[in-house]
Chains A and B, each alone.
Chain A
Amino acid sequence: MAKITLTVNGEKRSAEVEDRTLLANFLRDTLNLTGTHVGCDTSQCGACTVHVDGRAVKSCTMLAAQADGADVLTIEGLAKNGKLHPAQAAFTECHALQCGFCTPGMIMTTAALLKDHPQPTDDEIVHGLEGNLCRCTGYLNIIKAVKRAAELQGK
């Protein structure tokens, strides 16, 4: 067992976790932050993407113990003071979600992508979404949403 202390969505959280506990499961099961979804067990789908110290991370690829001392942001903490993040606003505006299961991961990936590329090209968007799978949308509206999020962020 490991004792960990980390910041999640701006709040300090401490817990005892089994060594093998994945960050994704810690967030979902221990902290009840079920907005982070688990869609595969081989780190391909990206539904579990969160930010760890400001970088997008697939939370199924990381042990909770490795996040000790880190600053973690999940989809639940992305909107600030009741205002949606530009990526969230753009996803609904562009109909970039259908079933919504991949959406938290897509939005967290988009938010990180826009930090690196405030005005991403099509190729940068496609490359940036390489690690996120969606079965419903065919991605066309997701790509539109990333562009729209860049516009909204620039405003």
Chain B
Amino acid sequence: MDQHHHLFDVGGAHVARLEDLRLIKGEGCYAADWKLPNQAHAAFLRADRAHAKIVSVNTEAARKAKGVLGVYTGTDAFSAGYVKPLSMLTFAGKDGMKARIPDRVVLAHGRVRFVGETVAMVVAETALQAQDAAELIEVEYEELPVVVAPESALADGAPQLHDNVPGNLAFEQEAGDAAAVAAAFAKAAHVTKLKLDCTRVAPSPMEPRACLVGYDAGSGAYTIHVPVQGINMMRMQIATYTGVPDDKLIIKARDVGGGFGQRSIAYTEYVALMIAAKALNRPVKWVATRSEAFMSDSHGRANYITAELALDKDGTFLAMKLDWIADLGAYLHPAGPVSPMRNPVTCLNGVYKTPALFGRWRVALTNTVPVSAYRGAARPEIAYTIERLVDESAAQMNIDPAELRRRNFIPPQAFPYKTPTGSVYDIADFPGVLAKALKLADVAGFAKRRADSEKRGLLRGQGMATVIENSGAGMFPKDEIRLEVAADGNITAYSVSHSQGQGHETTFAQIIGDGLGIPAERIKLRQGIAEQGLIGNHTGGSRTIVGAGTVCSIAAKKLIEHATPLAAEQMGVEPSQVTYANGVFQSTESERKITLGELAAKKPLTVTGEGKFGSTFPNGCHIAEVEIDPQTGVTDVVSYVTVDDCGTVINHTIVEGQMHGAVAQGWGQIFGENIVYDPETGQLLTGSFADYPMPKAGWIRDITIADHTTFGTISPLGVKGMGESGCTASLGALANAVMNALRPLGVPPLDMPLTAHKLWQAIAAAKKGH
């Protein structure tokens, strides 16, 4: 790769984000900001019980209410045929098992299976009228027994959610070598076993979902304004759900207020709005409240893992085995079960040369909100599992946790490294990453700091996580970027990989600008323009810089190649006599020059770059230090260090911002965020920001961030991706730090969320000798 590409903003040059100006002036355009002439408004009536037969739905009063244009129920949705969502769980499981995919009528038909399920839709002239009328709908239910815990759902005699999902088991798979693992455990000097709950959380991007659907009776086309991570992913899912062909589905989005996986789904509300828009021949708009968001946006994580690590007497890892239950909620979101079935297998050995691995995975259905990807999509869960095992093993065997890691790292000279489950890690330097983190975190000075804390009556702990995750590969056949040169020399770039805050308008412009030798400010990125018809992945799985980002560079090169003969023609010379630099073609034989803009003024100048990429593996080490007040159980994170290898860094400011946000989300999950259902009734007990503790300003005062780069070999830019690594590493680092603080008291391993209440109780119990 070109040496000058190594670090785009090396030397501290700061590129201000090109998308910021409109956003700081209140000129962004989010989903609820769209308006269409003559638009009507929808409200949804949602199930207020977790599992019940629908005996009757009386809509008479609602239909007569002021301003009401239409009321739609499961009967309408069923007769429209909007019954079968897309499933990406198409691979075979244990003994060739095929996934059992339940139907999901977009308005519940015959039965409701979780609190918040869409039961009826009212459309009226105003949003308030629709809401008022929805309250007039009378639903008679016959209650059914409820199951909210996935282990209970898989047990004999559990309430059954779907006829085609016996035992509530939607899928089961195994991976690895069971015999090799059994043999290794048989000769192990030490076995560490942990039961680890990766709790259910609410992704909670700050922009509530919203959708505005227009219908053109002449062409039969729907225009759907909706928050997305990519328009193609949304279109594919809606097309599958409705049978409406791709070319009749025009997905539109501009600014998207956060994503974290939650935006990658065609929700039932979006599809139901299509029924009304067509029936009324008017645009219909719906804006979710936050209360609706908690009970209908996809939840995340919800993986429950029993894990065992076998070691020899020197601490060499011999084998690991897992029994993994993924709670997917009442129905399967398109990619929901794919994340916990695939990503943990891809990185099952983590950063270690553990020779034997085996796992069993089961997908359970419960009377809860359906679960899907949340920042990391089971990468944090497998990393958390491994790193908790490693730290517990270090403590139990009295080996320094960094030393135990070093003994088991895949060595730098082993790359590309084929893992026991068949992944190929392209390149990394785990000992180098660890060494840098140990230094930045002043691990050598920890004992003294711990003693100082003790003098102040506080329990100090330090924890680390050394992790790896897969990024890059996508489900669409390729990623495309189109470049269009205007007569003034400015360039419009088109992409379907949509930013939800990641700053693509800046980083893509930097890459294209670098390729063409022109300032980033002269390149305007337009995302999600359906009319361009581009192929490409959505933004998810930390892949966009590897896919669309790399293609920005390819497209820039292609533009120069494409334009060189055109420039030669204009200048009356041979293409071989033309050089290009900084937006200008120049003849080597004469004084003649022509700029990109001048060339574009003669005739349209457009190219489409493309590329397809496999997996690459960002990795890193995070070290957290905490102080716990035993009087209150409150944990203060007093230091947090990240050293990451995300390959080439395009824009350090943006990379650091991603790290801040992802670590905050990890902190949120470890110390408080937790979706709770009442086990008897299936009622959601954490249905608002009053009950669900989002991280707030002041959760930490600073994070020390550094990179330790090896250049990825999958992208010619050397990039690896980094949007999720902060979540992947922080769960383990923070939990290990807390356990490190509490272990001397005899506190046994605790599960997230490590709330003050839980820690206080654990400390109190330990002091009593329980």
Chain B hits for A32, CB < 8 A:
35
Chain B residues with CB under 8 A of A141: 657, 660
Interface of A is mostly: loop
How many angstroms between the C-alpha atoms of A80 and B657 in the bound complex?
Answer: 29
Residue A129 at the B interface, CB < 8 A? Answer: yes
Instruction: Say whether B663 contacts A45, CB under 8 Å.
Output: no
Cβ contacts under 8 Å, B33 to chain A: 34
In residues 438-491 of chain B, which contact A (Cβ within 8 Å)?
A: none
Minimal Cβ-Cβ distance residue in B for A122: B701
A138 contacts B257, C-beta separation under 8 Å:
no
Query: Which residues of B have CB within 8 Å of A47?
Result: 206
- Whether A16 sits at the interface, judged by CB under 8 Å, is no
CA distance A76 to B23 in the complex (A): 10
> What chain A residues lie within 8 Å of B259 (beta carbons)?
99
- Whether A92 is near chain B, meaning CB under 8 Å from some CB there, is yes
Q: Is A59 an interface residue (CB 8 A)?
A: no
Contacts of B700 in A (CB 8 A): 138, 140
Chain A residues in 8 Å Cβ range of B760: none
A100: contacting residue among B28, B128, B689, B699, CB under 8 A: B28
Residues A35 and B28 in contact, CB atoms below 8 Å apart? yes
* B657:A45 contact, CB within 8 angstroms: no
Whole-angstrom CA separation of A45 from B211 in the bound complex: 21
Stretch touching chain A among B12-20, B74-82, B394-402, B590-598? B12-20
Residue of A nearest to B30 (CB): A101
Neighbouring A residues of B635 by C-beta, 8 Å: none
Instruction: Kindly list chain A residues whose C-beta atoms are within 8 Å of the C-beta of B257.
Output: 37, 39, 99-101
Cross-chain contact B503 with A37 (CB below 8 angstroms) = no
A100 to B506 alpha-carbon distance, docked (Å): 14
Closest to B203 in A: A135
- For chain A, residues 13 to 52, give those with C-beta under 8 angstroms from any C-beta of chain B: 18, 20, 28, 32-42, 44-45, 47
Chain B residues, CB < 8 A from A70: none
B24 at the interface (CB under 8 A from A): yes
Indicate whether A72 reaches chain B with its CB closer than 8 angstroms. Answer: no
Produce 1/0 per residue, B324-351, CB < 8 A to A.
0000000000000000000000000000
Residues in A118-144 with C-beta less than 8 Å from chain B:
122, 125-126, 129-130, 132-143
Chain B residues 201-234 with CB under 8 Å of chain A are: 204-208
Q: Is the CB of B206 within 8 A of A134?
A: yes
The 9 A-B pairs at the shortest CB distance, nearest first, are namely A35-B26, A99-B501, A101-B257, A100-B23, A138-B664, A75-B26, A138-B660, A98-B501, A126-B698
What residues make up the interface of A, taking CB atoms closer than 8 Å to B? Answer: 18, 20, 28, 32-42, 44-45, 47, 74-76, 78-79, 84, 88, 91-93, 95, 97-104, 107, 122, 125-126, 129-130, 132-143
Enumerate 18 A-B pairs (CB-CB under 8 Å) in ascending A order. Answer: A37-B257, A40-B688, A40-B689, A42-B291, A44-B694, A45-B689, A95-B17, A101-B206, A101-B255, A107-B24, A130-B697, A133-B206, A135-B260, A137-B657, A138-B700, A139-B699, A142-B697, A143-B697
Question: Could you list 14 further interchain pairs (A-B, Cβ under 8 angstroms) beyond the known A40-B688, A75-B25, A91-B20?
Answer: A35-B26, A39-B206, A39-B257, A42-B690, A76-B25, A88-B24, A92-B17, A92-B20, A100-B257, A136-B661, A137-B664, A138-B663, A139-B696, A140-B702
